[in-house]
Amino acid sequence: MKLSESFALILKQIEKEKGLSISDLKTAIEVAFLSAYKKKFGTSANIKISFNKDMTELNIYHVKKVVENLENNKN
């Protein structure tokens, strides 16, 4: 998800004015997105959230395990 270029500036301003670290702010945003994902889809298991280096993009990944052979096939 593309974020406004001013997003990083806003976080830096919050950091300066409120004394919160960028790391803590990023964590709070990640937790909020995980909570929203869980509310919408019923689970947040195996969901990974990451910001790019300049904080202009937020990526949300659903990590899945790929297996060669299916075990316990119930067909």
Please write the tens of the pLDDT for every residue from 43-71: 878 888 888 888 889 998 888 888 888 77
- The dihedrals phi and psi of 6, each to the nearest 5 degrees, come to -80, -10
Instruction: List Cβ<8 Å contacts ≥24 apart for 24-28.
Output: 26/51, 26/55
Of 47, 45, 40, nearest in space to 62 by CA: 47
- Percent with pLDDT over 70 in the chain: 96
